[in-house]
């Protein structure tokens, strides 16, 4: 028997590959065309004979190739008894030989176990060779193949990380652009754009199984999986673990806060009653520290330029959400309310960090906001009547009103710059009032020491000045002294009277010298301290919350002292040279009468003047 078998095999080896018409096909018994790593599945190979060929098949050889790592575990049936028993528990191969096949089709069914480490696709292929009676021409054919997508992973997920990367999504887009796709065992995902073999399972993005990717429903679904944090197999299809519409917002100004809404077909929603929308910053290193603690408002720090936001629809997967709808994200900018410059590094540091806040910290401003940190408040652009009406008591002749418009938002100091803040930027410098000096306003500084330069003829800042050092050590290139218009607009804070505290007692609202009884307030004042107060000792302005806009120390403005225009003016900035070459100071001081502390009151001094009643507060134009 052994000799006969050897002779038979020898005869077959000489006669294999002779003419005839046999074909083989494969079917893989796996739900949805997917398998589970480490589990077994069944493969059925069907060998058929062309009905027109009536010749007798005298020899048949099947060489079945399993995917890499798969193990042949059992041959369930062979159709006819083979002459060579299969070798079980071998890797990647099944070989069978028959002599004198009585009838067709010849069906072989076997099981194979997947490797424990899942792969994205598995291709089962094979070759058949045969001889037929009376035909001595060699002939051979390669059989068909079956293609599986791993049960654990989507067809597009080539790196098997449970996410669809942009490169992986682009592959699906290529199938869509081609109009159809086909099987390509040599490709990494087992598919190729365009026409070709369809002997296998369709791509997981092809939900209706027509060998093409439609825009709605199929390509959109792939995009949603790409936008998701991850996905999972939900029955017979893949769903996002949660649905994440994502938008990249560009052109964000520094200090901007972003409002976002999720929109479905033009309607702001959550999409279902049992779902909530949670906003977050998504995969954006430039937005470190940003968050959506305030609902749909991005309230943390963002770098200017670009940020990507994501809307998590909680409980989104598998709860009935129509993921084929057109979701969108709308957004708008406005500004965070406060800018904070951290001066704690002192004059030797190379950088003063800048952050933004949406509200005053719980518990209010602390001593550090008057010493190691410089706080500035956003002021919205607007129009106001600059100067004073002719009926205002105590007014000066240089205050004739005109309509002024500030076209750009800006930030202005919440407090006058203190002695400690000056020291942390410029180093030690003598002040007149040193008791509790760290939190008292810095005085004894001239315009030339604070800023210098010849503005507005030139925007050049003098070297080694307070303004120049802040500019050099922060991302705030427009940091400066306020124009006279910016100062008065902030001081008025929406009011149009002489003081932003209205008719309240000035003794309770500002540090000034008592009135003589002949100007604005006729009653003598007991406020005769004859010194500056700690900044923030008096109530702030009604809306912006700015301290000491009236009294304490005069504040340098950027402008030359000039005559007001008689016509409405946008962004007034004075003349290129002033009247008498003096700079403007505003707000009055501890040694001023009350009329000199009014919102419209103007004074002028030489830019080289440094005394015990002139200080400053800065501005920064919001971009």
Report d(CA 110, CA 492) in Å as an integer.
Answer: 88
111-122 confidence digits (pLDDT tens): 888 887 666 567
420-441 confidence digits (pLDDT tens): 999 999 999 999 998 889 999 9
- pTM metric for this prediction: 0.55
Domains of the chain: 2-149 (2.60.40.680), 153-240 (no CATH), 246-336 (no CATH), 339-623 (3.90.1580.10)
Residue ranges in 140-277 assigned as alpha helix (H): 166-178, 220-227
Secondary structure in 3-state letters for 518-556: CCCCCCCCCCCCCCCCCCCCCCCCCCCCCCCCCECCEEE
Q: Is the dihedral of CA 148, 153, 154, 160 positive or negative?
A: negative
Residue showing tokens 């992986």:
168
pLDDT, block means (10 residues), the chain with 623 residues: 26 35 76 69 83 66 82 83 72 78 85 74 74 49 50 76 86 92 82 86 85 84 77 68 57 59 52 47 44 52 52 41 44 73 95 86 95 96 96 95 95 98 96 92 97 90 96 91 98 97 91 54 45 93 97 96 95 81 94 93 96 96 82
In angstroms, how far is the first alpha carbon of the chain from the final one? 95
Taken as a whole, the chain contains a residue count of 623
From 120, 112, 125, select the one nearest 151 (Cα to Cα).
Answer: 120
- Give me the percent of the chain exceeding a pLDDT of 70: 70
The CA-atom distances, in angstroms, between 324 and each of 16, 141, 217, 239, 282 are 55, 44, 5, 12, 22
Contact 401, 568 (CB under 8 A): no
Report d(CA 428, CA 420) in Å as an integer.
Answer: 9
To the nearest whole number, what is the mean pLDDT of the chain? 78
């Amino acid at each position: 028997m052994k000799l006969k078998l050897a002779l038979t095999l020898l005869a077959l080896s000489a006669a294999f590959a002779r003419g005839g018409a046999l074909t083989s096909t494969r079917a893989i018994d796996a739900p949805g065309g997917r398998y589970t790593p480490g589990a077994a599945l069944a493969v059925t190979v069907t060998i058929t004979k062309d009905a027109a060929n009536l010749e007798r098949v005298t020899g048949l050889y099947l060489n079945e190739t399993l995917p890499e790592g798969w193990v042949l575990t059992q041959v369930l049936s062979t159709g006819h008894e083979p002459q060579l028993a299969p070798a079980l528990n071998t890797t990647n191969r099944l070989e069978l030989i028959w002599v004198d096949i009585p009838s067709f089709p010849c069906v072989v069914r076997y099981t194979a176990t997947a490797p424990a480490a899942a792969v994205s696709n598995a291709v089962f292929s094979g070759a058949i060779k045969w001889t037929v009676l009376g035909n001595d021409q060699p002939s051979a054919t390669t059989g068909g193949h079956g293609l599986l997508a791993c049960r654990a992973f989507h067809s597009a997920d080539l790196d098997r990380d449970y996410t669809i990367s942009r490169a992986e999504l682009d592959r699906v887009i290529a199938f869509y652009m081609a109009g159809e796709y086909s099987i390509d065992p040599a490709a990494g995902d087992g598919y190729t754009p365009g026409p070709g073999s369809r002997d296998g399972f369709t791509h997981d993005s092809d939900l209706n199984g027509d060998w093409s990717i439609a825009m709605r429903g199929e390509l959109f679904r792939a995009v949603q999986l790409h936008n998701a944090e991850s996905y999972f197999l939900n029955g017979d299809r893949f769903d996002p673990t949660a649905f994440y519409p994502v938008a990249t917002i560009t052109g964000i100004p520094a200090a901007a806060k972003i409002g976002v809404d999720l929109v479905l077909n033009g309607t702001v929603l959550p999409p279902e009653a049992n779902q909530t929308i949670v906003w977050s910053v998504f995969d954006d290193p430039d937005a470190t520290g940003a968050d959506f603690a305030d609902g749909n408002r991005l309230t943390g720090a963002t770098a200017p330029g670009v940020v990507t936001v994501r809307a998590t629809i909680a409980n989104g997967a598998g709860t009935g959400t129509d993921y084929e709808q057109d979701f969108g994200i709308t957004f708008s900018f406005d500004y965070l309310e406060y800018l904070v410059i951290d001066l704690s590094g002192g004059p030797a540091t190379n950088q003063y960090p800048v952050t933004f806040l949406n509200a005053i910290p719980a518990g209010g401003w602390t001593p550090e906001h008057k010493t190691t940190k410089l706080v500035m408040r956003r002021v919205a652009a607007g129009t106001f009547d600059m100067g004073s009406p002719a009926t205002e008591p105590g007014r000066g002749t240089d205050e004739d009103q005109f309509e002024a418009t500030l076209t750009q938002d800006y930030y202005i100091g919440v407090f006058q710059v203190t002695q400690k803040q000056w020291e942390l930027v410029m180093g030690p410098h003598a002040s007149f009032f040193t008791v509790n000096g760290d939190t008292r306003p810095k005085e004894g500084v001239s315009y030339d020491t604070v800023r210098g330069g010849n503005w507005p003829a030139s925007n050049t800042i003098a070297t080694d000045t307070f303004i120049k050092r802040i500019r050099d050590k922060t991302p705030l290139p427009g940091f400066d002294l306020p124009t006279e218009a910016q100062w008065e607009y902030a001081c008025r804070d929406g009011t149009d009277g002489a003081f932003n505290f209205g008719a309240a007692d000035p003794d309770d609202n500002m540090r000034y010298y008592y009135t003589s009884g002949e100007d604005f307030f006729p009653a003598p004042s007991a406020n005769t301290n004859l010194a500056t107060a700690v900044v923030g000792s008096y109530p702030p302005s009604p809306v912006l919350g700015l301290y000491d806009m009236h009294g304490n120390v005069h504040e340098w403005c950027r402008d030359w002292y000039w005559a007001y225009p008689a016509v409405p003016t946008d962004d007034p900035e004075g003349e290129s040279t002033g009247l008498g070459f003096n700079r403007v100071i505003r707000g009055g001081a501890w040694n001023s009468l009350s009329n000199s502390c009014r919102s419209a009151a103007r004074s002028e001094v030489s830019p080289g003047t440094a005394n015990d009643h002139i200080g400053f507060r800065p501005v920064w134009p919001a971009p």
